[in-house]
Amino acid sequence: MEFYRWMITHSGMVYSIIVSVVVITIVTVVIARKINERRGFRKRKERALAQEEEDSKKEFVITSGTLNRYNGNAIELHIPQGITGIGCYGHYVGEYPYNVTIYSGAFQDNQRIRSVFLPDSIRGIATNAFCNCIMLSKINIPEGISRICKGTFSNCVSLEGIELPKSVNLIDEEAFHNCTNLRYVIIKNDHPVVHFEAFSGCRLSEVHLGKDLSEISGLGRANQMDIYIPTLSAWFTKKTNLNLGRYRLFVNGSLMQSLIIDRNVPDRCFHECISLTELKFGNNVEVIEGYSFFGCISLKNLYIPKNIVVIENDAFTNCTNLETVMIPSAFRARVSAIFQNPYIRFTFYD
């Protein structure tokens, strides 16, 4: 009874003691956690630095079949059979508490290597794997690789050509960004997905597609140079300051001069394709977007059928050798904006 009376009498003091104990406990836990975190960071950093020092002594840093880092000085390199992937290597940068882990490609920033021969066992190449390899001029891509990831060959300024096997069905954004000497690309997959900035900053002169011509034999094409292409999407896009230059289009080894197109034509789809001498539009085409055939300097004559109801400005700008155009009367008021060429002879029909 006396104890409870005392508690009531001194309740303020008791409350203060309890609060103090709680605060001290919380502060002690927080400090202990911070100390443990710092100790843990130091141990991780020590292990990472020790591992990095150990790895730096190896020519190949391989983990579970993936080549994560190459430390050698070879000019021409044959990667051993059995390697299944070209990956990334991570290392610590900065000091606690702002430490970060930086991942770089296995060959990233290598300033020496000129030729790389990948084994048939390779099944994947990681992001930035060969980024900034400024001397790399030759590399093979084995069958079995399905994707060229973002930045894989970015800034490989000595690379002049690349051949991608049928297994490659995706070419990601900036995969070949700023490969300024890349002149030709061979894409053997019949239906690849190519990001519109995959070849940004390049100046391609030849684009080879691998569509099987036997697939279209039932469409009644009299000439193999006429090929049905639903749409190529805007693979070779000129955006802002990105310019791929003029290129010739090849399909299954044949130079494409005459195209039969039976789907709407997206923006810049055939931008500066200089091999085209003839275009034929099927009944399904309704829209030709802006700059679709910009710079197709080999076009001389053009027929626009009635089923095309939209032609955006500059669709045929810089087609400098275009002489005659037969076009529906509905476009009479807009031909100057569409073609930007005062020397074309127009024939309008209803």
Number of alpha helices (DSSP H) and beta strands (DSSP E) in the chain: 3, 25
Residue 117 sits in which domain range?
60-202
pLDDT (tens digit per residue) in 71-118? 999 999 999 999 999 998 776 555 655 555 566 899 999 999 999 999
Domain membership of residue 101 (yes or no) is yes
142 plus 26 within the same structural domain: no
115 plus 78 within the same structural domain: yes
Residue where a domain terminates, one of 40, 57, 74: 57
- How far is it, in rounded angstroms, from Cα 65 to Cα 203? 36
| Contact by Cβ (8 Å): 161, 182 | yes
Rg (CA), the chain: 31
Domain membership of residue 337 (yes or no) is no
172 plus 64 within the same structural domain: yes
- How far is it, in rounded angstroms, from Cα 109 to Cα 215? 43
Number of domains in the chain: 2
143 plus 23 within the same structural domain: no
Digits of tens for pLDDT over the chain (350 positions)?
565 565 556 566 666 777 677 777 777 777 777 777 777 667 766 676 666 667 667 888 888 899 989 999 999 999 999 999 999 877 655 565 555 556 689 999 999 999 999 999 999 999 999 999 999 999 999 999 999 999 999 999 999 999 999 999 888 888 998 898 988 888 888 777 777 678 877 877 887 876 543 333 222 222 233 333 333 433 433 333 334 467 787 776 777 788 878 777 777 778 788 888 988 888 888 999 888 898 899 999 999 999 999 999 999 999 999 999 999 999 999 999 999 999 999 999 99
67 plus 88 within the same structural domain: yes
Cβ neighbors of 333 (< 8 A, separation 6 or more) are: none
10 plus 110 within the same structural domain: no
Residue 234 pLDDT: 37
147 plus 46 within the same structural domain: no
43 plus 125 within the same structural domain: no
Residue 147 pLDDT: 93
Residue 44 pLDDT: 67
Domain membership of residue 146 (yes or no) is yes
In this structure, what are the phi and psi dihedrals at residue 260, rounded to the nearest 5 degrees? -105, 115
100 plus 179 within the same structural domain: yes
47 plus 96 within the same structural domain: no
Name the E strands within 203-293. 206-209, 226-228, 248-251, 254-255, 258-261, 278-281, 287-288
Q: What is the CATH number of the domain that holds 175?
A: 3.80.10.10
pLDDT (tens digit per residue) in 128-167? 999 999 999 999 999 999 999 999 999 999 999 999 999 9
Domain membership of residue 156 (yes or no) is yes
Domain membership of residue 12 (yes or no) is yes
β-bridge partners, 227: 259
81 plus 189 within the same structural domain: yes
Q: What is the token pair recorded at 264?
A: 């709407």
Domain membership of residue 116 (yes or no) is yes
66 plus 85 within the same structural domain: yes
